[in-house]
């Protein structure tokens, strides 16, 4: 009797395993690696919902390669080492075919060695500092030459700014971006006395003395602007304190690289009217493709939810991955990565995004002005699409380096003078 029971249990276990394997074979797993708690949840939760919406829509079209997409959502909780652990879980245990994730550069830097070790594939949808190109990551957000540099040019040329406050959260993206901007500003003739640099921790809430210092710095009689790389929920008290101290956009305009419609939806924007943000997309863009996307988003979530730039970058990356998988006839990482280069898909501003050899995109650059309804009205944009540059032309150690993931270079860190690759290559 015990022998028969043991056989029965074994047969049941085998049947369950077979069912599980069959289910896995019938679906394509998509990893979603965004913070749903902690300081970055204010920004990243929206991107999780965006991926789920895109998966839902793609499944209605029949999935990818005849298989349904299955989301696997994890919460790295704004904890940078936990991003690496969750990535290992997604690739090693869940066996996902692709990951859409990260916001901060410190989280991406945490994930990078795991993605490369396990040969995963990730789409990174947020503006960043550049100085990186990995075979395993496709960067669908802006590089500095697609956001930070054009923003500073706008302030110089259109607003005649002469003094600069570079204010950021204390981690790799703001520090590296500001290093690039400082070098760029000095090349334009500005000196140390024209540049004030300040960093604060994630989640910083007491802005009174810092805003007071900014106000004092801007009282010299020269036009002053704040270039903000402040990230996450620290933006809410920062903007509130600007209003408390009566700093208007006419006095000291702020141009932000990490504040969009989602962050503004939690702030009383009336005192902020006229301040600026530099992105590659705004919800207010008047294009049919954007109107369709907004309708889709509101239907999937609620009528109160807004769209923003990293959502568009997620949309572009997702559609590129689908198109590349269909082109390759497989979700195999190496074959999809090769197929991605040169892929073109519509963006939400009425143009086309192309994946370049350096794993970056072509993008328009837009400057938006904050309105009292929390939207951003486009006040300036580039005439043409700007190709993303992985390595800055303004840093001595980077200006001779390129990224090119095609033969014969096949390297993300290739020195054009020494003809050597000092980064990851295969």
Compute the distance between CA of residue 97 and CA of residue 333 in angstroms, rounded to an integer: 7
Contacts of 228 (CB under 8 A, 6+ apart): 167, 168, 235, 238, 254, 255, 256, 257, 258, 259
User: Does residue 57 sit in helix, strand or coil?
Assistant: helix
The rounded distance, in Å, linking the Cα atoms of 220 and 231 is 28
Q: Alpha-carbon distance 416 to 414, whole Å?
A: 6
Q: Note the pLDDT of residue 1.
A: 52
**Three-state DSSP state, 217:** helix
Distances (CA, A) of 236 to 52, 92, 206, 213: 27, 38, 11, 18
- Beta-sheet pairing, 362-363 with 352-354: unpaired
- Report residue 191: phi and psi, to 5°: -110, 175
- Listing from the earlier edge strand, what are the strands of the sheet with 401-404? 401-404, 411-415, 420-421
Pair 221, 249: CB distance under 8 Å: no
| Structure confidence at residue 267 (pLDDT) | 75
Residue 232: per-residue pLDDT: 83
Tens of pLDDT along the chain (426 residues) come to 544 444 454 555 554 444 444 444 689 999 999 999 998 998 899 999 999 999 999 999 999 999 999 999 999 999 999 999 999 999 999 999 999 999 999 999 999 999 999 999 999 999 999 999 999 999 999 999 999 999 999 999 999 999 999 999 999 999 999 999 999 999 999 999 999 999 999 999 999 999 999 999 999 999 999 999 998 888 889 988 998 999 999 999 999 998 888 878 877 888 789 999 999 999 999 999 999 999 999 999 977 889 999 999 999 999 999 999 999 999 999 999 999 999 999 999 999 999 999 999 999 999 999 998 889 999 999 999 999 999 999 998 899 999 999 999 999 999 999 999 986 543
C-beta atoms surrounding 91 within 10 Å: 22
Are domains 7-143+290-365 and 145-284+366-387 of this chain identical in fold? yes
Residue with tokens 């000092």: 422
Question: What integer pLDDT is reported at residue 113 of this predicted model?
Answer: 97
Closest CA relative to residue 312, chosen from 343, 342, 287, 341: 287
Measured distance CA(389)–CA(241) in Å, rounded: 35
Reported as type and span, the H/E element at residue 165 is strand 163-169
Provide the CB-side half-sphere exposure for 337 (13 A, CA).
Answer: 25
Contact call for residues 223 and 163 (beta carbons, < 8 A): yes
Q: Strand, helix or coil at 30?
A: strand
Place of tokens 């993206």: 173
Question: CA 317, CA 340: separation in Å to the nearest integer?
Answer: 10
What CATH class has 7-143+290-365?
A: alpha beta
Q: How big is the CA angle at 118 (ends 114 and 123), to the nearest 5 degrees?
A: 70
Question: Sheet of 137-139: strands edge to edge?
Answer: 68-74, 27-33, 98-101, 122-124, 137-139
Report the pLDDT value the prediction gives residue 21, as an integer from 0 to 100.
Answer: 44
Q: Can you give the residue ranges of every domain in the chain?
A: 7-143+290-365, 145-284+366-387
Distances (CA, A) of 181 to 112, 125, 151, 230, 314: 25, 22, 10, 15, 26
- Nearest Cα to Cα of residue 361 among 54, 146, 152: 146
- Considering only CA atoms, which of 128, 146, 147, 149 is closest in space to residue 138? 128
Instruction: Report domain 145-284+366-387's class.
Output: alpha beta
Burial profile 378-416: b = 16 or more Cβ within 10 angstroms, e = fewer: bebbbeebbbbbbbbebbeebeebbbbbeeebebbbbee
pLDDT at 35: 98
- φ/ψ (deg, to 5) at 266: -105, 15
DSSP SS3 for 173: helix
């Amino acid at each position: 009797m015990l022998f028969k029971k043991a056989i029965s249990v074994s047969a049941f276990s085998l049947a369950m395993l077979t069912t599980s394997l069959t289910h896995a074979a019938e679906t394509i797993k998509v990893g979603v690696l965004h913070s749903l708690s902690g300081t970055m949840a204010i920004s990243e939760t929206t991107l999780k919902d965006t991926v789920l919406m895109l998966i839902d829509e793609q499944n209605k079209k029949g999935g990818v390669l005849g298989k349904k997409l299955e989301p696997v959502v994890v919460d790295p909780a704004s904890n940078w080492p936990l991003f690496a652990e969750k990535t290992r879980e997604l690739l090693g245990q869940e066996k996902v075919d692709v990951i859409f994730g990260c916001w901060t550069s410190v989280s991406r830097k945490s994930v990078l060695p795991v993605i490369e070790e396990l040969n995963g594939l990730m789409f990174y949808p947020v503006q960043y500092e550049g100085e990186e190109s990995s075979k395993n990551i496709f960067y669908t957000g802006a590089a500095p030459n697609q956001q930070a540099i054009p923003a500073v040019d706008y302030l110089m040329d259109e607003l005649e700014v002469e003094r600069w406050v570079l204010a950021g959260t204390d981690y790799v993206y703001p520090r590296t971006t500001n290093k690039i901007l400082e070098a760029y500003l000095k090349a334009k003739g500005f000196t140390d006395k024209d540049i004030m640099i300040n960093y604060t921790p994630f989640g910083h809430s007491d802005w009174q003395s810092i805003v007071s210092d900014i106000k004092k710095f801007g009282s010299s009689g020269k036009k002053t602007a704040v270039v903000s790389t402040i990230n996450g929920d620290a933006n809410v008290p920062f903007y509130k304190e600007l209003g408390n101290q009566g700093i208007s956009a006419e006095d000291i305009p702020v141009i932000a690289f990490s504040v969009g419609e989602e962050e503004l939806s939690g702030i009383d924007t009336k005192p902020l009217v006229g301040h600026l943000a530099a992105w590659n997309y705004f919800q207010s863009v008047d294009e049919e493709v954007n109107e369709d996307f907004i309708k889709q988003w509101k239907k999937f979530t609620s009528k109160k939810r807004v769209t923003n730039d990293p959502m568009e970058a997620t949309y572009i990356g997702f559609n590129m991955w689908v198109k590349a998988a269909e082109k390759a006839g497989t979700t195999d990482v190496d074959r999809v990565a090769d197929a991605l280069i040169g892929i073109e898909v519509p963006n939400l501003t009425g143009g086309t995004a192309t994946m370049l050899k350096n794993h970056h995109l072509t993008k328009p650059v837009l400057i938006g002005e904050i309105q009292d309804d929390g939207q951003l009205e486009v006040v300036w944009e580039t005439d043409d699409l700007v190709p993303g540059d992985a390595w800055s032309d303004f840093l001595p150690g980077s200006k001779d380096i390129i990224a090119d993931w095609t033969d014969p270079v096949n390297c993300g860190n290739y020195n054009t003078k020494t003809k050597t690759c000092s980064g990851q290559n295969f």
